[in-house]
Structure 1
Amino acid sequence: MLTPGRSLTMHAESGRELPRVEAFEALYNMGCRPRQGEVIMIAGRSGTQKSGLALFWVAEMGLPTLYFSADMSAFTASSRLASMATGDTTEMVEAGMAEGGRYRETYVNALAGSRITFSFGSPITWRAVDEEMEAYVELWDSYPSCLVFDNLMDFDSAESDYTEQMAVMSGATELARATGATVIVLHHASDKSWEAKSDPWAPPSRDQVKGGLSEKPELSLSVALDPHSQEYRIAVIKQRMGPSDPTAKRYASLRCHPEVTRFSKIERVTLFPPPEPKPWTPTAVLDKR
Structure 2
Amino acid sequence: MHKGWCLLGATPLGGLILTITQALQQKGSAGEPIPGIFQALQALGVAIRQGQLHLIAAGPGTGKSALALNLVIRSGVPTMYFSADSDAFTQYVRSAARISGWTTAQVEEAVRNQQTTTIDAALTSLDARWNFDASPSLDEIEQSLMAYAMIYGWPALTIIDNVTNVDAPEMGEGHAGLDELCGFFHDLARRTGSAIILLHHVTGIYNDGNNPIPLSGIKGQIGRVPEVILTLHRGGTEFEGYDLRVSNVKNRGGKADPSGFTFARLGWQPERMLIDG
Please say whether Structure 1 and Structure 2 have the same fold, judged by a TM-score greater than 0.5. yes
Stretches of structure 2 lacking an aligned partner (at least 5 in a row): 1-16
Contact 1:215–1:238 (CA<8 Å) still a contact in 2?
A: no
Shift of 1:7: 1.2
Q: How does 1:111-150 map to 2 (within 5 A)?
A: 111-140=123-152, 142-150=153-161
CA distance in 1: counterparts of 2:225 and 2:145, whole angstroms: 23
Relative to structure 1, is the Cα distance of residues 12 and 121 closer, same or farther in structure 2, using a 3 angstrom cutoff? closer
Q: Residue 277 of structure 1 aligns with which residue?
A: none
Q: Residue 176 of structure 2 aligns with which residue?
A: 163
Contact 2:29–2:193 (CA<8 Å) still a contact in 1?
A: no
Which residue, 204, 224, 246 being the options, matches 1:191?
A: 204
CA distance in 1: counterparts of 2:117 and 2:131, whole angstroms: 23
The one-letter code matched in structure 2 to 1:26 is: A
Contact 1:44–1:187 (CA<8 Å) still a contact in 2?
A: yes
Q: Residue 172 of structure 1 aligns with which residue?
A: 185
The one-letter code matched in structure 1 to 2:176 is: T
Relative to structure 1, is the Cα distance of residues 74 and 52 closer, same or farther in structure 2, using a 3 angstrom cutoff? same
2:263 maps to 1:251 = yes
Q: Residue 235 of structure 2 aligns with which residue?
A: 226
Q: Residue 217 of structure 1 aligns with which residue?
A: 226
Q: Residue 261 of structure 1 aligns with which residue?
A: 273
Which residue, 69, 84, 88 being the options, matches 2:83?
A: 69
Shift of 1:63: 0.5
Query: What is the RMSD computed on CA atoms of the aligned residues?
Result: 1.8
Shift of 1:155: 1.1
Q: Residue 151 of structure 1 aligns with which residue?
A: 162
CA distance in 1: counterparts of 2:209 and 2:138, whole angstroms: 34
Q: Counterpart of 1:203 in 2: which secondary structure? A: coil
Which residue, 86, 93, 97 being the options, matches 1:83?
A: 97
Stretches of structure 1 lacking an aligned partner (at least 5 in a row): 266-289
CA distance in 2: counterparts of 1:234 and 1:86, whole angstroms: 25
2:194 maps to 1:181 = yes
Q: Residue 39 of structure 2 aligns with which residue?
A: 25
Which protein has the larger Cα radius of gyration, Structure 1 or Structure 2?
1
Counting aligned pairs with the same residue, the percent is: 30
Query: Scaled by the length of structure 2, what TM-score is found?
Result: 0.87
Query: Scaled by the length of structure 1, what TM-score is found?
Result: 0.84
Q: Residue 204 of structure 1 aligns with which residue?
A: 213
Contact 1:220–1:238 (CA<8 Å) still a contact in 2?
A: yes
Shift of 1:94: 1.0
Aligned residues: 256
CA distance in 2: counterparts of 1:160 and 1:227, whole angstroms: 38
Relative to structure 1, is the Cα distance of residues 256 and 64 closer, same or farther in structure 2, using a 3 angstrom cutoff? same
Relative to structure 1, is the Cα distance of residues 98 and 200 closer, same or farther in structure 2, using a 3 angstrom cutoff? closer
The one-letter code matched in structure 1 to 2:187 is: E
